[in-house]
Structure 1
Amino acid sequence: MTSAAAPSPDAIRQARADRPELRARDLAAQLGVPEGALVAAEVGHTATRLKAHPNDLIPPVSTLGEVMALTRNESAVHERIGRYEEYHGGEHATMVLGPEIDLRMFPKHWAQAFAVVEETDKGVKRSLQVFDAAGDAVHKVHLKPASDVAAFEKLVAALATGDESRAFDAAPRTPPEGAKLREDKMEVLRREWERMTDTHQFLRLVSKLKMNRLGAYRGAGSPYAEPLAPEAVSAMLEGAAAQGIEIMLFVGNAGCIQIHAGPVETIKPMGPWQNVLDPRFNLHLRADHIAEVWRVWKPTQRGPAISVEAFDAEGRLILQCFGKRKEAEPVAWNAMVAELPAGAAAEVQA
């Protein structure tokens, strides 16, 4: 939709008032605008523009006490309750390394940020919401009943930009890359894969070979990457819950990756959604979006790291899951993953 055809901020506000039952993403899709435009339309009413860089925004979030961190992509929503602790800033990548809130953030995608204060039937809701240049949500912080409201107000006063613009001038979305595979580099890929000593070396390796994650998985073959059935993700969550296996579950987008480390207990499918509904961690996964699942083996200095990784039909990564490593190799996780249902051979075709 061109900017000339887009609804005005006043029209967006009226649409929100007329359809309060709709989630922001769903209403934005109906209106043909990015989610960020819904929030920008509220500037001067319920929203205030803030400095968006993580180096500015995240350190004062640690003063809010217990909050809920939310990171999502098109197919999964990751929600974790805790405190923002141990912030590590940087120009290109930043981190929060607390025991409950664990984030990897990439500042170039933190384009616009807002503080939102809304009156609802359940009381006042306060949040911080960050969007990328296309207007898609990168990360959100929702205050909980025990959060420090005075600290929130201080944060808003300190970081407010003074920009009263109610428009969100969205850039075009970056199209999905799909699988990038180099048949002539497969032997090099396998040889270098064997030599890895840390999982973080993997993306550097595939980038050097002009591939990407999914292309490498499709081409490498066993034991490096083996296709699983789409239902393997639900089987993995149910198996971890039934056996009390602690996991590390990653959900992210281009600007933020959020990690849950610990058990999952309450697994509840609801229509197309598969959900983890635990007191301090929720996952909402569109199981019907899962097109490919891979069991991936990577060598490390502490023994093999085995993951389950799900992708959508356009090749976008939905989630990754590892066994939580303590002092020793996660034996129960590895055994459980070995029994997950295999995928069809067609899934390995480039």
Structure 2
Amino acid sequence: MSAPSPEEIRAARAAEPKMRARDLAESLGIAEAEICAALVGAEATRIAAHPDAIMPLLTAFGPVMALTRNDSCVIEKVGIYDDYRPGPHAALVVNETIDLRLFPGHWVHAFAMDEAGPSGPRRSVQVFDAAGDAVHKIHLRAESDAAHWAPFVAALRLEDQGQVLDLSPRQPPEVPKANPDRAEELRQGWDEMTDTHQFMRLTSRLKMNRLGAYRIAGAPYVRQLAPKSVEALLHRAAETAVPIMVFVGNRGMIEIHTGPITRVVELGPWINVLDPGFDLHLRMDHIAETYAVVKNTQRGPAHSVECFDARGALIAQIFGVLRAGDEAAAGWNALVAELPGLEAVEA
């Protein structure tokens, strides 16, 4: 079956105006970026995709909404894109509300979207990877400075405004890689860590990856948790007002929330945090494995709860906030310690 033409994509969108672009793309058997491309010349403009081009120009909008997702989790934060720090392999935006880790190699296609909405224009910047999957989106809000929109689009507009994209095949998640013969080396290196970022270098050196290492490390480094642990953890974090850090990402972006949460709502398979300036939407039925993990840092042990889907892809990580002080860290550690282990549920 041949892929739908831009005209057919536009017709499908017109027939289902309330359907989310991601769901429409799945129903059509195309990538989400192809929907944006089909709207070029009307509601979309192709723009330069590199974060060095986009990020410095976002500050002028003032408050906007930053959205990052993977197949199982969506994080949304409201704030201002200031303090961008470029880098060839990894870049940062770090301020009180917008906290991002960007990986420019996966920023391949980008669009400035200017769509008609019931209460006026809906403007957004949408970035996609080589396969056309969403990396990051920036949505203007009522309080954003819309006067900056036209110069923003003009500054980044590409000469190529075609409606068809040259996409690469989607890369599947890396399967879990463990090396049981080097488990003792893993534990020794784990003991020697002074920063959580050293973990990926350690696993790479031992020909493992995150989930593979978690499966063989054992106590006291890792404890596999019961399937509903993340759900229980979010509810308890809201009840106790313990500050947390939530990391949600994909190959091209990690977005982070830091602070307490207050309103946790379950809706169908989703568990949601719905707080002013911060939303989280997590598909509980996608979680196949969950672990409580401890890694050494110069501030003390960092305890996290991390969940993975059935393919072995990381869905989300939740940490305590060590810089919030000893009381906050102790409160978080107690919440994690309360979570039942998988063996207790199976028993």
- Provide TM-score, normalisation by structure 2: 0.97
Whole-Å separation in 1 of the counterparts to 2:80 and 2:227: 34
Displacement after TM superposition at 1:169 (Å): 2.0
Alignment correspondent of 1:337: 336
Percent of pairs with identical residues: 55
Deviations 1:307-346 (A, max 9, x none): 0000000000000010112253411000111001211489
- Once the two structures are superposed, the pairs formed by residues 101-180 of structure 1 within 5 Å of their partners are 101-180=98-177
2:85 corresponds to which residue? 88
Structure 1 counterpart SS, 2:160: coil
- Superposed CA offset, 1:211-231 (max 9, x none): 000000001001111100120
Deviation string, structure 1 residues 251-301 (Cα, Å, up to 9, x no partner): 000000000001111100000110001111000111100000000000111
Cα contact 1:180–1:214 (8 A) shared by 2 = yes
* 3-state SS, counterpart of residue 309 of structure 1: strand
5 Å matches for 1:220-299?
220-299=217-296
Which of 19, 26, 37 pairs up with 1:22?
19
Taking structure 1 as the reference length, what is the TM-score of the superposition? Answer: 0.96
Contact 1:231–1:341 under 8 Å retained in 2 = no
Kept in 1: contact 2:226–2:345 (CA 8 A)? no
Distance 2:334 2:229 in 1: 14
Q: Say which SS state the counterpart of residue 178 (structure 2) adopts.
A: coil
Distance 1:205 1:345, change over 3 A: farther
Count of residue pairs the alignment pairs up: 344
State the partner residue of 2:49: 52
- The CA RMSD measured in Å over matched residues stands at 1.3
1:326 match: secondary structure: helix
Q: How far does the alpha carbon of each residue in 1:50-100 deviate from its partner, in whole angstroms, 9 at most, with x for none? A: 110001111111111000000000000000001111110011110000110
Q: Structure 2: how far apart are the matches of 1:345 and 1:240?
A: 22
Stretch deviating more after TM superposition (19-28 or 210-219): 19-28
Contact 2:225–2:291 (CA<8 Å) still a contact in 1? yes
Quote the Cα distance in structure 2 between the aligned partners of 1:93 and 1:304.
Answer: 25
CA deviation vs aligned residue, 1:108-132 (integer Å, no higher than 9, x gap): 1000000000011232100000000
Cα distance in 2, alignment partners of residues 79 and 325 from structure 1 = 23
Residues 1:34 and 1:241: Cα distance change in structure 2 (over 3 Å): same
Q: CA deviation at 1:302?
A: 1.0
Specify the alignment match of 1:211 in structure 2: 208
Distance 2:192 2:169 in 1: 39
How far, CA to CA, are the matches of 2:142 and 2:13 in structure 1?
A: 25
Q: 1:70 aligns with which of 46, 60, 67?
A: 67
> Gapped runs of 5+ residues in structure 1?
none
Question: What is the aligned partner in structure 2 of residue 34 from structure 1?
Answer: 31
**Alpha-carbon deviation of 1:208?**
0.8
Cα distance in 2, alignment partners of residues 281 and 204 from structure 1: 31
**Matched residue type, 2:16:** R
Contact 1:227 1:345 in 2 (8 A): no
